[in-house]
Amino acid sequence: MAPRAIALVDCNNFYVSCERVFRPDLEGVPVGVLSNNDGCFVARSSELKALGVKMGQPLFEVKDLVRRHRVRVFSSNYVLYGDMSQRVTECLRGFTPALENYSIDESFLDLSGFHGRDLSAYASEIRSTVKMWTGIPTCIGIASSKTLAKLANHAAKKSLMGEGGVCDLTHEGDREQVLHMVPVEEVWGIGRRSAEKLNMLGVKTAADLRSMDPRQARKLLTVVGERLVYELRGVACLPLDLAPQPVKGTAVTRSFGEPVKTWEPMREAVASYASRAAEKLRGQGAHGLAAESLQVFMHTSPFRSGPSYANAATVELQPPTNDSFALIAAATAAAKRIWREGFQFSKAGVVLSGLVPVERVQPDLLQAADRQRGSRLMAAMDAVNARMGRDTLRSAATMGRAWRMRQESRSPSYTTRLTDVPVVRA
């Protein structure tokens, strides 16, 4: 059997690149995209990285630097990024149908059938096509396992093996070289805690981890660590997920734009999150999913002094449902149970679990007519909102404003809102 060849295509500084597609004047200057609430940096252009701004760094810590270097700062525009992501994925599907869409900016491609051809040249062709069709720059790493493909991608990004944005580690010599160059904490699946443990044992590089006794890796890092050792040896343990699996749970959680001190804005926020969570459920799978269980949590800021409080309450939903009004009612009741006066709440959330396809939900004869009416109403609401924009139609319970998040510099919805589409004059 021919060895496997897996390519990882990763978009460079994805959110920044999305903003640049519609703003060519942003090329060559420092650009950053902020998390929800304009809290911290979640994407940085290479120029911003060079200025020393770290991933996840709070904006307020680098205010001066941002002003001095005229850093272009954007609030996150997930509707735009989601749409651009789909375009990139569609473009990649033109090269192989065997594709796993791993995250908003990454896909694994099975190129096993292309062995014999020059994989690097093929990858370069993929890169230039994606750039031409979508405007998004990418890097591509190729190897015989997912973990090695990740490593190859890292090498491509850092130009560890020549320039050109492509790194092919299917040949042993190149692979050895890169394994010795990459510190163990850069390996996919090794986080801070695991890196600390490994370093104590003198395991410093990806090559060290590769050479570890798999049983020892398992003792130290559970089966995850053992698998990693094999993956680094080129033995693929992580299959490509060609068909997206249904999600097992879904959540809508937000920090507030300003602290919430009274029940009314908390009630509105929780109702609004429940409503959004219900929409997400209805959009999943062929006919939507229903939740068996709903949890609400709220807490004060972990970063501020003053009285602190954190709590959560869970409600079983019988029968399972994705009806906005049912979820709003359940979430509001749960929130009421854990609500306490006298605190400054910084965040709350609604978490849904036990997700089942709606068609598998046992119909309850007594309520069947009611529920059918409900699902027709939900479908009508979703249709209007899809056409006219999110929240055109929503429950009155979600109307408040005080708790909403800060978004001071969001770019237009260039690709999804007709009034925001760029106009070309020729």
Partner DNA sequence: TCTGGGGTCCTAGGACCC
Looking at the Cβ atoms of 121 and 224, the one nearer to DNA is: 224
CA–CA dist 289, 358 (Å, integer): 5
Nearest-approach distance from CB 94 to DNA, in angstroms: 22
Query: What is the signed CA dihedral for 305, 307, 312, 313, rounded to 10 degrees?
Result: -160
Parallel/antiparallel/unpaired status of strands 31-34 and 72-74: parallel
Residue ranges of E strands in 272-360: 289-300, 310-321, 345-357
Token pair listed for 181: 């160059």
Nearest-approach distance from CB 203 to DNA, in angstroms: 13
Please report which residue ranges of 103-205 form alpha helices under DSSP H: 119-134, 146-157, 172-181, 192-200
Looking at the Cβ atoms of 105 and 208, the one nearer to DNA is: 105
Looking at the Cβ atoms of 8 and 114, the one nearer to DNA is: 8
Looking at the Cβ atoms of 106 and 114, the one nearer to DNA is: 106
Looking at the Cβ atoms of 195 and 358, the one nearer to DNA is: 195
Q: Map tokens 């909403």 to a residue.
A: 404
Looking at the Cβ atoms of 203 and 371, the one nearer to DNA is: 203
Greatest alpha-carbon span in the chain: 69
Residue 310's DSSP bridge partners are 299
Q: Site residues (CB under 7 A) for DNA?
A: 35-37, 39-40, 42, 55-56, 58-60, 63, 102-106, 150, 187-195, 222-224, 245, 247-255, 259, 280, 293, 301, 303-304, 314, 346-347, 349, 405
CA–CA dist 126, 251 (Å, integer): 35
Nearest to 216 by CA among 228, 232, 233: 228
Token pair listed for 52: 């020393």
Nearest-approach distance from CB 116 to DNA, in angstroms: 29
Nearest-approach distance from CB 93 to DNA, in angstroms: 19
Which residues have C-beta within 8 Å of that of residue 140, sequence separation ≥ 6? 7, 8, 9, 10, 123, 126, 127, 153, 156, 165, 166, 167
Nearest-approach distance from CB 329 to DNA, in angstroms: 20
Token pair listed for 41: 């940096």
